[in-house]
Structure 1
Amino acid sequence: MNKRFRRLFLKYLNNTCSRQEMDEVFDYINSQGLEFTDEMIRHVYDQELLERRQSRKLIFQVAASVVMAGIVVLAGIVMTSNSKGIVAGTTVVNSRTSQTARSEKRFLLLPDGTQVWLNAASILEFPEKFSGGERKVSLTGEAFFDVKHADSVPFIITTGKVSTLVVGTAFNIKAYPDQEKITVSVKRGKVNVRYSDNKVAVLERGQQVSIETTTTRAKQKAIKDEETAAWQKGYLLFDDETVGDILAYLEKVYDVSVQFQDSEQKNLHISTSFKREEGIEKALLVICRLTDTEMKIENGIYILKNKPEKL
């Protein structure tokens, strides 16, 4: 294993990574693929245990607890998390909350081995230990899940009134509360999507469904593999989305403030795409061309307004 990556990954676990080092960790894992992540984590922990044993700093009881419950320890990959107790009858279930700031992304390993990539300005709530015949988490924002297979224990993600049920699959959910659509895209396996108690769609690889939160109308379509969670690889894709929703998404990704002065144009549906590395100004200039507006910056705020009428 790359020695530099091993060092950076340990810094990541200890919450001592700089933003640049964190991006390097994500880029390296992305370049190796999702299956690499399990092997990498096991290797890092095995090496740490070995080194501690050799230096006689790890007593037998601690080593045994890490080996037997390592996957629970790995849930600590949350960089900023809060714990709380949820009372269910007479049983107290401890839960965790992981939250990303604007322009931040994070990798999580849940207690069952499920891998989660949390996008900017997102929140994931999950128990410290899954029990009761199901694995249930709550998402606000956007995340890519690679769910650990378990035939008899379904994995359920709730996002407002939309619930997504899977057994073992890889898929992306985009569900920001300030945007008009919740979108589920499947990369592998099968996903059952419901709105309240009503079945919306059963998706398989290369399929996507978008649900309008105001009307509950659902639109299903086929997509390419690379379109699923394209944000992980630095691409921002928008298909038939309102200008208002696109701007709200860009605010989260780039941690900026954007104002669009024409309220009617904010409801205009457009399709476009950007590379994240190209920056916010280039993205906004593309939107200006599509909406026949112009951009200016005042006090650090990006303002898109109608062009003055020609005399």
Structure 2
Amino acid sequence: MEERIEYLLRQYEKNNCSREELEELFSYINGLRAGDQSLKQAVRNIYDDIKKNHPSFTYVDENGKLVLTGPDDQSAFSDKTLVSGKPKWKLLVVVTVSCIIGFCTLIWIVRKNFSVVNYIQKPTTSNPSKKISTKVQQGRLSLSDSTEVWLNANSVIEIPDKFSDDKREITLNGEAFFSSRSSSSAPLVIHCGRITITAHSSAFNIKAYPKDKQLSVSSVSGKIRVTQGSDLLGVLAGGQSLKVNKDDDNISRKAVSSENVASWREGNMKYEEEFLIDIIADIERVYGINVTLSDAAFERMRVSFSFTKDTPVARVLENLCAITNTQLDGENDEFIIL
């Protein structure tokens, strides 16, 4: 108890008491008034110690009285008691009012110097804000430079509140289709993990889910630069696609139909020689289910497949198993391919 009282008194001395600590200190003062001898002795010991370093310290003594000492006083328990002849309840009012004034002053100082405006940093154009689509839906948004973005399910895009004149950079985790018609001379730069896509006035699709085995970029119009660090992986024109295998960094290119690029926006899912594991991942995102492959060899199986998002999931999986010569088990939200 003595250690706690000492802590509270030193906090009061430094004007650092919180409201709860002030209330606790007053409860001990009331104990002094009630004649608690052990509490009185504890307070006397504490003040003897404090007095060595602070001879002018104003305090409440072991009898619950407010004592004002001068720098020349040698006794921490001088007979010069403030309003000592007044009733004790009036003394308590004086102490309480003094503490309240000190506490309110502290609050004013804190608010002046550490206001919410100063303490919480306002978003700047260099700080990205997140736009997140729901797990089984897709969304559309317009960027500050008039670029239109269609965001596929379970995707996250980070963008600044406003692009600067010389910088248009965003970050994508997932899949999105971009239609950029901006007159800005600054290129649109999309960061997808280790891969960076750079474009001017272009229309293109990026599929860069972190857990997929491949990252793919497909161009509908304009020129697209794909880089990894300082290495140029390729430049795409309209109707071209580039894929990067995340396991071995192998790069493959092929021609694609513009109608099939980002056909997911209309609910049509189309795949040409894609890894089965990536197709399964899309099905999980579209329907919000879990699908397990019983054999790890299935993961690298390449499949051409298509389905529409309004098809029942069981039928989609049954059709997929039919063309991969596998079997389906499970129901509701949990399935396994054998």
Q: Cα offset for 1:159? A: 0.3
Residue in structure 1 matching 2:255, options 193, 214, 222: 222
What's 1:120 paired with?
153
Does structure 1 conserve the Cα–Cα contact (< 8 Å) formed by 2:196 and 2:228? yes
1:183 matched to 2:212: no
Residue in structure 2 matching 1:194, options 209, 227, 239: 227
1:173 matched to 2:200: no
Counterpart of 1:265 in 2: which secondary structure? helix
What's 1:278 paired with?
311
Identity of aligned residues (%): 32
Q: Cα offset for 1:300? A: 3.1
What's 1:148 paired with?
181
For 1:135 and 1:251, the matched residues in 2 are separated by 32
Task: Give 1:233's aligned amino acid.
Answer: E
Does structure 2 conserve the Cα–Cα contact (< 8 Å) formed by 1:186 and 1:205? yes
For 1:166 and 1:85, the matched residues in 2 are separated by 30
Q: Cα offset for 1:266? A: 2.1
What's 2:41 paired with?
none
Change (3 A) 1:113 1:229: same
For 2:223 and 2:316, the matched residues in 1 are separated by 34
For 1:222 and 1:85, the matched residues in 2 are separated by 46
For 1:85 and 1:159, the matched residues in 2 are separated by 26
Q: Cα offset for 1:93? A: 2.8
What's 2:135 paired with?
102
Q: Cα offset for 1:223? A: 0.9
Does structure 1 conserve the Cα–Cα contact (< 8 Å) formed by 2:135 and 2:153? yes
For 2:149 and 2:122, the matched residues in 1 are separated by 22
Q: Cα offset for 1:85? A: 6.4
Count of matched residue positions in the alignment of Structure 1 and Structure 2: 218
Structure 2 unaligned residues grouped into runs of 5+? 1-120
Task: Give 2:316's aligned amino acid.
Answer: A
Counterpart of 2:235 in 1: which secondary structure? strand
Q: Cα offset for 1:94? A: 3.5
4+ runs of 1 displaced by more than 6 Å? none
Post-superposition CA distance 1:216-273 (Å, at most 9, x none): 1111111111111010111111222221111111101111111121221222111111
Larger radius of gyration: 2
Change (3 A) 1:226 1:183: same
Change (3 A) 1:299 1:186: closer
Higher relative contact order (CA 8 A, sep 6+): 1
Task: Give 2:304's aligned amino acid.
Answer: S
For 2:208 and 2:332, the matched residues in 1 are separated by 30
Counterpart of 1:211 in 2: which secondary structure? strand
Residue in structure 2 matching 1:158, options 191, 203, 209: 191
For 2:145 and 2:259, the matched residues in 1 are separated by 26
Change (3 A) 1:270 1:85: farther
Mean CA deviation greater in 98-107 or 263-272? 263-272
Mean CA deviation greater in 160-169 or 284-293? 284-293
TM-score (norm 1): 0.67
More strand, by proportion: 1
Does structure 1 conserve the Cα–Cα contact (< 8 Å) formed by 2:175 and 2:207? yes
What's 2:30 paired with?
none
